Amino acid sequence: MKKKETGITLMVLVITIIVLLILAGVTISGLTGDNAIIKNAQDASNQTEISSLEEQIELSIIKAEQKHRNPNLEDVIEELKNNKVITNENQVDKDLGTIKTDAGYEIEGKLEDYVGYLAKDIANSEDKGLYYGAEVTGYECENSEAVANWRIFYADQNNIYLIADEAIDANYAPTTKTGKALVIDTDNKNVSFDQVFKDYEGSKDIQNSLAQKWLKQFLDEYPDCKKIM
Sort 160 into a burial class: Cβ within 10 Å, 0-12 / 13-18 / 19+.
Answer: buried
Q: What is the mean pLDDT of residues 151-174?
A: 79
In a shared domain, residues 148 and 104: no
**Confidence (pLDDT) at 59:** 92
Which percentage of the chain shows pLDDT scores above 90? 3
Give one word for 150, left, alpha or beta, with left for phi > 0 and alpha for psi -120 to 50.
beta
Q: What is the mean pLDDT of residues 73-79?
A: 89
175 pLDDT above the threshold of 60: yes
What is the percentage of the chain residues whose pLDDT exceeds 70?
A: 66
The total of structural domains in the chain comes to: 3
pLDDT at residue 91 is higher than 80:
yes
Q: What is the pLDDT of residues 22-58, one digit of tens each?
A: 776 666 665 555 555 656 666 677 788 888 888 998 9
At 51 the pLDDT is 85
Let me know whether 134 and 227 are in one domain: no
In a domain, 39, yes or no: yes
Let me know whether 97 and 28 are in one domain.
yes
User: What is residue 229's predicted lDDT score, i.e. its pLDDT?
Assistant: 33
The per-residue pLDDT for 226 is 55
User: 112 and 57 in one domain?
Assistant: yes
215 in the same domain as 134: no
Does 4 map to a domain? no
Q: Is the pLDDT assigned to residue 105 strictly greater than 80?
A: yes
Other Cβ atoms less than 10 A from the Cβ of 140: the count is: 9
| pLDDT class of 109 with cuts at 50, 70, 90 | confident
Residue 6 lies in a domain: no
Give the range of the structural domain holding residue 27, as residue numbers without chain letter: 14-116
Whether 8 maps to a domain, the answer reads: no
169 φ, ψ to 5°?
Answer: -60, 130
Domain assignment of residue 99, yes or no:
yes
Asked if pLDDT for residue 2 goes beyond 80, the answer is no
Residues 97 and 122 occupy one common structural domain: no
Digit-coded pLDDT (tens) for 176-225: 777 776 666 667 666 666 666 667 766 555 555 666 666 676 667 767 66
pLDDT of residue 199: 72
| pLDDT tens digits for range 111-136 | 877 777 777 888 888 887 778 888 88
- Greatest alpha-carbon span in the chain: 137
Does 208 lie in the same domain as 179?
yes
The listed range with the strongest mean pLDDT (8-22, 64-78, 169-183, 202-216) is 64-78
- Does one domain contain both 84 and 24? yes
Q: Is the pLDDT of residue 84 over 80?
A: yes
Is residue 228, in this structure, part of any structural domain at all? yes
Count of alpha carbons within 13 Å of 66, Cβ hemisphere only?
Answer: 7
Residues 112 and 131 in one domain: no
Whether 9 maps to a domain, the answer reads: no
137 & 181 share domain: no
- Closest by Cα among 110, 132, 136 to 121: 132
Q: Are residues 178 and 194 in the same domain?
A: yes
- 149 lies in a domain? yes
Is residue 107 domain-shared with residue 125, that is, in the same domain? Answer: no
